[in-house]
C-alpha cells in the first residue's frame, strides 16, 4: 500500500483511489486485531457461503463479515450477544468500514459456561473421555506444544533438565486468540507424523480467564488429541482451571512443572533404586554360588569313579568270603566223608561248587554293570587333569583346560 504523504499540495489533487488506500492503510494498521462485543443484527448468508451481518450496541453499528469456512465457537444467530475477534478493514468501493470475523464467542461467562457444558456432554457421550493410556516409564523424546515465549516453556525445560535430561521437540503455537485452535491442533497432528515421534506430548499454557483458555475447548484441538497415537499430558492453566482437553488427554497435570514430573522419572531416585537392586543381586549371586558349591561337592562324592571303586572293594570282599566259605565247606565235607560214599561226596561237592560258581558269576555281572566303562556308556563323563588324574573342584581354576573322558573318547574343555 502507499505510504501517507508528508504534505498535501494544493496544485496536486489526490485521486479517490489514493485517498481510499490511505484510509484503508490507517484503519488496518491501527486495528490489526480487535475484540469487540455487541448484538448480531441483519444476519444474511450469501449464496457463496459468506456471512454478512452487523454488530451493534446502544450507540453505534459496525458491519461484519465472516468468510465461508471460518469456524466459530458459537453459531451466528440474529439477536445474539457475542464477543467478536477479528481485524477492521475498509471497502473502498462503497466507502465503508467493517470487521472481518475470525472468532466468535458467546458474550459473558454464563454463555461460555453453557457452551462448555454442552460440548462436555457431547464429547463424553462420544467416548472421548474414556481412553487413558499409560505413560512410558523411560521416554527418549518429549514433545511440547506451547508458546515459545513465557514461563511455561521455561518451567518445562528446567524441570526436565533437573530430573531426567533428554531430547525435547518444541512446536511453538499461539495459545489464545485467532488462529490458536488451528495451530494447536496442527502441532499435535504434526508431531504424530514425525519419522521419529516423541514418546509423550505435553500440551499447555499458563493461567487465564475462560476466554483466554477457550482454544483448548475447541473441537479441532479435542479431535486432534483424541486421534493422537502419542500419549498426551494436558497442562493448561492453573490447578483450578479446567478445559475439555484435560478430559480428552491421557493425563491431566495441575501445572506445567507437574506435567514435566509426570513425563520423566527422577534420575536420583533411579540411581538409588539401581544401587538397592545391585546389592540384592550381589547377595543373590553369593547365596547361589554357595548352594551350587555344596551341590557340586556332593556330586563329587558320588562321582562314577567313586561308585566303581566302592563296588570293586565290595567284590573283593565277597570273593574273599566266598573263598573262605568254600574252604570251610571242603573241610566239613572231609570230616563227613566217612558217612558218604565216594560218588555221593563227589556229587555234593559238585553241587556246592556250581552254586558258588553261580554266585560268583552274579557278582561278576554286578561288577561289570558298575564298571567305569558301563558308567560312561550311560552318559556320565569324568573330568581329568593333564596328568590323567581326576580333576577335583579345588584343583582347577578359571580358564584351565581339562580333559573330559566320555565313553566314545576324550574332549578338551575350558573351565568357566
What are the pLDDT digits (tens) for 38-77?
Answer: 888 888 988 888 999 989 887 888 899 998 888 887 788 8
- CA gap 319, 133 in Å, rounded: 81
256 close to 156: Cβ distance less than 8 angstroms: yes
pLDDT at residue number 313:
84
pLDDT at residue number 1:
46
What are the pLDDT digits (tens) for 304-317?
Answer: 666 677 778 888 88
| DSSP string for 235-300 | EES-TT---HHHHHSSEE-SSHHHHHHHHS--HHHHHHHHHHHHHHHHHHHHHHHHHHHHHHHHHH
Confidence (pTM): 0.52
348 close to 335: Cβ distance less than 8 angstroms: no
The pLDDT profile of the chain, 416 residues, written as one tens digit per residue, is: 445 554 555 667 888 888 888 888 888 888 888 888 888 888 898 888 899 998 988 788 889 999 888 888 778 888 788 888 888 998 888 888 889 988 888 776 667 788 888 899 999 999 999 999 999 989 999 999 999 987 889 999 999 998 888 999 999 999 988 889 999 999 999 999 999 999 999 999 988 888 888 899 999 999 999 999 999 999 998 888 889 999 999 999 998 889 999 999 887 777 777 878 888 888 899 888 888 888 777 666 556 666 677 778 888 888 889 889 988 888 887 777 666 566 666 777 888 888 888 888 888 777 777 777 777 888 888 888 888 788 888 888 888 888 888 888 888 898 88
Query: Does CATH number 3.30.870.10 belong to domain 16-106?
Result: no
What are the pLDDT digits (tens) for 247-305?
Answer: 999 999 998 889 999 999 887 777 777 878 888 888 899 888 888 888 777 666 556 66
Which string of b and e fits 375-407 if b means at least 16 CB within 10 Å?
A: bbeeebbbbeeeeeeebeeeeeeeeeebbebee
Measuring CA to CA, how many Å separate 268 from each of 203, 215, 260, 370? 26, 37, 15, 62
Which string of b and e fits 259-290 if b means at least 16 CB within 10 Å?
A: bbbbbbeeeeeeeeeeeeeeeeeeeeeeeeee
- CA gap 57, 121 in Å, rounded: 33
Considering the four listed CATH numbers 3.40.50.970, 3.40.50.10550, 3.40.50.800, 3.20.20.10, the one that applies to the domain covering 114-131+139-265 is: 3.40.50.10550
In the chain, domain spans: 16-106, 114-131+139-265, 381-416
Compute how many other C-beta atoms are within 10 angstroms of the C-beta atom of residue 149. Answer: 9
How far is C-alpha 18 from the geometric centre of its chain's CA atoms? 63
- CA gap 354, 174 in Å, rounded: 111
Amino acid at each position: 500500500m502507499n505510504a501517507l504523504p508528508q504534505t498535501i499540495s494544493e496544485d496536486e489533487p489526490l485521486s479517490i483511489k489514493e485517498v481510499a488506500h490511505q484510509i484503508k492503510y490507517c484503519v488496518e494498521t491501527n486495528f490489526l486485531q480487535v475484540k469487540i462485543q455487541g448484538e448480531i443484527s441483519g444476519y444474511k448468508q450469501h449464496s457463496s457461503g459468506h456471512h454478512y451481518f452487523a454488530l451493534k450496541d446502544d450507540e453505534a453499528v459496525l458491519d461484519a463479515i465472516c468468510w465461508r469456512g471460518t469456524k466459530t465457537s458459537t453459531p451466528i444467530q440474529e439477536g445474539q450477544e457475542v464477543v467478536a475477534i477479528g481485524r477492521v478493514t475498509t471497502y473502498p468501493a462503497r466507502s465503508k468500514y467493517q470487521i472481518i470475523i475470525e472468532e466468535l464467542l458467546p458474550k459473558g461467562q454464563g454463555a461460555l459456561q453453557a457452551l462448555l457444558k454442552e460440548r462436555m456432554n457431547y464429547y463424553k457421550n462420544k467416548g472421548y473421555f474414556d481412553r487413558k493410556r499409560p505413560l512410558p516409564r523411560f521416554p527418549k523424546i518429549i514433545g511440547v506444544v506451547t508458546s515459545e515465549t513465557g514461563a511455561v516453556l521455561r518451567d518445562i525445560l528446567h524441570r526436565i533438565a533437573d530430573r531426567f535430561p533428554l531430547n525435547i521437540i518444541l512446536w511453538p503455537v499461539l495459545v489464545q486468540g485467532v488462529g490458536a485452535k488451528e495451530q494447536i491442533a496442527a502441532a499435535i497432528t504434526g508431531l504424530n507424523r514425525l519419522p521419529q515421534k516423541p514418546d509423550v506430548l505435553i500440551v499447555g499454557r499458563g493461567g487465564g480467564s475462560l476466554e483466554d483458555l477457550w482454544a483448548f475447548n475447541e473441537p479441532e484441538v479435542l479431535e486432534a488429541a483424541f486421534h493422537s497415537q502419542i500419549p498426551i499430558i494436558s497442562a493448561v492453566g492453573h490447578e483450578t482451571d479446567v478445559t475439555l482437553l484435560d478430559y480428552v488427554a491421557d493425563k491431566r497435570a495441575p501445572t506445567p512443572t507437574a506435567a514435566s514430573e509426570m513425563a520423566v522419572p527422577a534420575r536420583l531416585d533411579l540411581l538409588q533404586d539401581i544401587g538397592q537392586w545391585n546389592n540384592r543381586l550381589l547377595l543373590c549371586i553369593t547365596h547361589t554360588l554357595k548352594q551350587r558349591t555344596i551341590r557340586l561337592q556332593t556330586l563329587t562324592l558320588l562321582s562314577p569313579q567313586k561308585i566303581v571303586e566302592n563296588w570293586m572293594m565290595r567284590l573283593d570282599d565277597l570273593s574273599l568270603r566266598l573263598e573262605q566259605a568254600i574252604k570251610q565247606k571242603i573241610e566239613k565235607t572231609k570230616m563227613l566223608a566217612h558217612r558218604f560214599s565216594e560218588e555221593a561226596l563227589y556229587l555234593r561237592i559238585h553241587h556246592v561248587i556250581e552254586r558258588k560258581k553261580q554266585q560268583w558269576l552274579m557278582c561278576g555281572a554286578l561288577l561289570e554293570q558298575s564298571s567305569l566303562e558301563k558308567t560312561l556308556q550311560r552318559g556320565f563323563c569324568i573330568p581329568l587333569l593333564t596328568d590323567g588324574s581326576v580333576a577335583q573342584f579345588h584343583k582347577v581354576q578359571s580358564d584351565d583346560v581339562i580333559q573330559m573322558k566320555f565313553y566314545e573318547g576324550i574332549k578338551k574343555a575350558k573351565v568357566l
